[in-house]
Amino acid sequence: MIKKIGLLGLSADPPHCGHLEMAKLLLKKKVVDEIWLIPCYRHSFGKLLASANHRWKMSKLLEEPGIKASNMEIRRQGISYTIDTMRILKNKYHTHQLFWVVGSDIVKPGSYKKWKDWKKLFSSINFLVVNRVGFKLNKAPAGFILVKGRVSGVSSTDIRERIRKGLTIDNLVPPKIKEYVGKNNLYRPGLTF
């Protein structure tokens, strides 16, 4: 049976309610049959991240029916480029229909044009885009399929900053992620990973 798989690449530093909202929206609208969360090993733009092990464990905490975490980029190690991940997945799951999922915050400012071999990537897979608060698209540019609906504009950067300042992250991350972050003292000032 051919499945429609939505692939959501993320830093997962930490994963948050926006990721979960996006996954649930795509499943509810039956745009895809499953969502695979794929945390990167090393960010392609050189962002400093918490350990891959912590980010993988937090991604696993988001799993529920229809939403699975994949550690393929973490197992592969090195810099995680979307085009490399897609080639591997298309070869391995050639009977499924694969979609790369992004938020409008990647599309509206054109950030995707900084991705490695982005033109080749766009010719090899369909992209789904979901509106995030603050980055509304009325129409999807060429190469993207706009999914109706909207998710919050919460970002991992904001969450890490709130933790550093001692502010609450309630309603920004699922309770399991909040508990994991607290138990492992992640994102506190002066801590290293």
Instruction: Write out pLDDT tens, residues 58-81.
Output: 999 999 999 999 999 999 998 889
Residue 123 placed within a domain = yes
Strand pairing of 34-39 and 4-10?
Answer: parallel
Give the pLDDT confidence of 89-105 residue by residue, as tens digits: 999 999 999 999 999 99
pLDDT in tens, 3-41: 999 999 999 999 999 999 999 999 999 999 999 999 999
Domain membership flag for residue 162: no
Count of structural domains, the chain? 1
Mean pLDDT across the chain, nearest whole number?
92
List the alpha helices (DSSP H) in 77-140. 82-92, 104-107, 118-124
Domain of 148: which CATH number?
Answer: 3.40.50.620
The verdict on residue 172 lying in a domain is: no
Range of the domain at 31: 4-153
Q: Is residue 179 part of a domain?
A: no
The Cα 68–Cα 36 span in angstroms is 5
Classify residue 95: in a domain, yes or no: yes
Instruction: Round to whole Å and give the CA distance between 115 and 75.
Output: 21
Q: How confident is the model at residue 109 (pLDDT cuts 50, 70, 90)?
A: confident
Q: What is the pLDDT of residue 138?
A: 92
pLDDT of residue 193: 40
pLDDT at 141: 87
For 41, residues 6+ apart whose C-beta sits below 8 A from its C-beta are 52, 73, 74, 76, 77, 78, 79, 80
Residue 170 in domain: no
Query: What pLDDT, on a 0 to 100 scale, did the predictor assign at position 50?
Result: 92
pTM above 0.85, yes or no: yes
Domain presence at residue 115: yes
In this prediction, what percent of the chain has a pLDDT beyond 70? 97
Are β-strands 144-151 and 34-39 bridged in parallel, bridged antiparallel, or unpaired?
unpaired
